[in-house]
A = this chain, B = another copy of it.
Amino acid sequence: MQTLNVALGDRAYPIHIGRSLLGRADLILPHLRTRRVAIVTNDTVGPLYLEALSTALAQAGVGVSAVSLPDGEAYKDWETLNRIFDMLLAERCERSTTLIALGGGVVGDMGGFAAACYQRGMPFIQVPTTLLAQVDSSVGGKTAINHPLGKNMIGAFYQPRLVLADIDTLATLPDRELSAGLAEVIKYGLIRDPEFLAWLEQNLERLVARDADALAYAIERSCRNKAEVVAADETEQGERALLNLGHTFGHAIETGLGYGEWLHGEAVAAGTMMAAELSRRLGWLGEAEVARVGALFERARLPVWGPLLGAERYLELMAHDKKVEAGRLRLVLLRELGRAVIHGDAQQTDIAAAIEARCR
């Protein structure tokens, strides 16, 4: 097991990464305020992993309540969130009860938001079970649900007290979900960690084959990158925006196709190629470097071309992105491989050309 620390002053918290962690109630106990937890999971993850976690806690003398949500991004809404509140109230959970989210990013985002709101805030622990959740969504304190008019529009910054990433849970993860998580892993290399990027170029097949040591290394390194960024900029005023490499383009793909067609990580991969292509047009990357990025995504079985929605439609969708400040589109681009920057001055025509060049 490896342990990282997210340095957020009096809200600092550890991330434990390793094998067979679900049964390790000893890792959880020090972070409970009272011996009482409420576990939020979903109908896919619950049958696989709820018992291991809740039995371990119960044996350690912890009172356990649980609720299982329907599986899917479509349920990341108020109605489903309310099922968490129903359970918390029906089971008389107090504000000192700890909420544990056991699942992927959807369960983590909803569980975290429920914990942020229940009686104005109860302690919260993340037990992420997808690669994406282990390297990205469980770290950093962003929580949210969707609104019919926008994804992740309603939420809170709310930090967990502990993140427990059990690599063994990834064994049951569908291939496509594993690949989607790798898109975010590769992202960390691209935006701020050239050494990690080189490691990924050496070891990508080991990750696809789910080699435990390789996964442990990549997860730890990814979390370290995310934790550093978050510690420097908790509420996304500055550096944290770099984590959105490929995301503004990617969100256009997700929205343009209708949510659920492409996985988030798939859209991020294709979107990152657009960002790389635009960076090339600004003279920051060479053609060979863009190709290197593409090769990495392809080895991770991720798409490197966006769907043909037309550049105009992309631009229209991107104009509605949350990252628009005072009407100005701020894009994350690559100054070089391993160093991202925020760029607010790209010409619409250049952006359109980069999109066109990366669609087919």
Segment at the interface with B among A111-119, A243-251, A273-281: A111-119
Segment at the interface with B among A17-25, A141-149, A256-264: A141-149
Segment at the interface with B among A39-47, A163-171, A322-330, A345-353: A322-330
Q: Does A96 contact B (CB under 8 A)?
A: yes
Q: A120-B144, A156-B121, A322-B119 are in contact. Are A149 and B78 (CB under 8 A)?
A: no
Q: A89-B153, A119-B153 are in contact. Are A326 and B34 (CB under 8 A)?
A: yes
Q: Which residues of B contact A85 (CB under 8 A)?
A: 147, 149, 153-154
Q: Which residues of B contact A312 (CB under 8 A)?
A: none
The one of B86, B92, B117, B322 that contacts A95, using a Cβ cutoff of 8 Å? B322
Render A75-100 as a binary contact track against B, CB cut-off 8 A, 1 for contact. Answer: 00010001001100110101110000
The one of B34, B82, B156 that contacts A120, using a Cβ cutoff of 8 Å? B156
Q: Which residues of B contact A155 (CB under 8 A)?
A: 117, 119-120
Q: Which residues of B contact A235 (CB under 8 A)?
A: 120-121
Q: A325–B144 contact, CB under 8 A?
A: no
Q: Which residues of B contact A322 (CB under 8 A)?
A: 95, 119
A116 to B320, CA, bound (A): 21
A86 to B95, CA, bound (A): 30
CB distance from A85 to the nearest CB of B (A): 6
Q: B78–A121 contact, CB under 8 A?
A: no
Q: Does A150 contact B (CB under 8 A)?
A: yes
A78 to B92, CA, bound (A): 21
Q: B89–A147 contact, CB under 8 A?
A: yes
The one of B78, B94, B143 that contacts A78, using a Cβ cutoff of 8 Å? B78
The one of B119, B120, B154 that contacts A117, using a Cβ cutoff of 8 Å? B154
The one of B89, B121, B326 that contacts A150, using a Cβ cutoff of 8 Å? B89
CB distance from A142 to the nearest CB of B (A): 7
Q: Which residues of B contact A78 (CB under 8 A)?
A: 78, 82
Q: A157–B120 contact, CB under 8 A?
A: yes
Q: Which residues of A contact B (CB under 8 A)?
A: 34, 78, 82, 85-86, 89-90, 92, 94-96, 116-121, 142-144, 147, 149-150, 153-157, 235, 320, 322, 324-326
What are 19 of the A-B contact pairs (CB < 8 Å)? A85-B149, A85-B153, A85-B154, A86-B149, A89-B147, A89-B153, A94-B326, A96-B325, A96-B326, A117-B117, A118-B153, A118-B154, A120-B143, A120-B156, A120-B157, A121-B156, A121-B157, A121-B235, A156-B156
